[in-house]
Structure formats: structure tokens, C-alpha cells
Copies of this chain bind each other. A is one copy, B any other.
Amino acid sequence: MPKISLAEMEEIAHDLPWVDMLGMKIDEIGEGQARVRLPYKADFLRPGGTISGPAMMGLADYGMYVAVLSAIGRVELAVTTSLNINFLRKPGQADIIGDCRLIKVGRRLAYGEVLLHSEIEHLDEPVAHVTATYSIPPDRPA
């Protein structure tokens, strides 16, 4: 069972400037996992007709945040400490979907991965792969 509901997560997202600026959505929340979506906008295109890298980084970072909260509950002050992205293919002009899963949830750190794919392409042809570490504040209520 996820430790945060979609409704709560959407409420938190109101305070995340990035979510609104990019129009990001949550498709699903599991425990320690999440599927998030970057609805396609022509605004995101950069020279070459590719969706710009930072839009995909923003999606992966958001997906990780949702996955972390789904595992530890409403700890809004969890923050990214590192993020590593590898771009694998040029995405088509379509929504980007990010599938996130945590690989480790510790007391102080959570670590996971995100596979990004374009909605019009195969799941086994990802456009990018991300790993990231989140720091969990020490003084959160048990």
C-alpha cells in the first residue's frame, strides 16, 4: 500500500513550481513506485525537434519524489541529493512517461531508478534512464 494517496500528492504538488510549469501528471502510485507523465507541448522542443533534456530531468525528479513519498509517507522536505541521467533515444513528439521504482529505502536515504519512454514508442525502447538519491530529513515524525 502506498503511504500517500494520489489526492494528497496532488495537494503537495501545488507547492512544487516545476509540476505546474511543465504540466506534469501522476498516472499511478504504488508503494515505492510511481508512474508520472509529461504531457507533450511544442514548447518543450529544442533544435532538432527533440524534447529538451531538462524537461525529462524534471519529470524523472518528480517521479522519484512521488515514489519516495509513497514509501515513507508525507515527508515534503525529502530532497534530491544526486541525479544521473542517460539519454538513449530521441523521443517522438508525444507524452513522455516515467516509471519509477525505489531500489533502496533507508532511514536517511532513498535510491531508485526511472525509465522514461515516449508514449508512442515501445516500452523496451526507452528514451532515457535515470538513477537518483533522495535525502530524508532526520527529524521526521515516526
Residue positions of A touching B, CB distance < 8 A: 12, 15-18, 21, 43-48, 50, 52-55, 57-58, 61, 76-77, 79-89, 103-104, 106, 111, 113, 115, 125-126, 129, 131, 133
Contacts and interface: CB of A to CB of B under 8 A. Distances in A.
B87 A82 contact: yes
Given A89-B104, A104-B89, A131-B84, A50 B79 contact: yes
A104 B131 contact: no
Nearest to A57: B57
Given A17-B44, A17-B52, 4 more contacts: A16-B52, A21-B21, A57-B83, A129-B131
Q: Is the interface of A mostly helix, strand, loop or mixed?
A: mixed
Contact of A79 (B45, B87, B104): B87
A47 B77 contact: yes
A47 B18 contact: no
A54 B52 contact: no
A55 B21 CA distance: 11
A54 B86 CA distance: 15
Nearest to A112: B129
Given A52-B17, A52-B18, A83-B57, A88 B76 contact: no
A106 B16 CA distance: 27
23 contacts: A15-B47, A16-B52, A17-B46, A18-B55, A21-B43, A47-B77, A53-B61, A53-B80, A54-B58, A57-B61, A81-B86, A82-B84, A82-B86, A82-B133, A83-B85, A84-B84, A84-B85, A86-B111, A86-B131, A88-B104, A113-B113, A113-B129, A129-B131
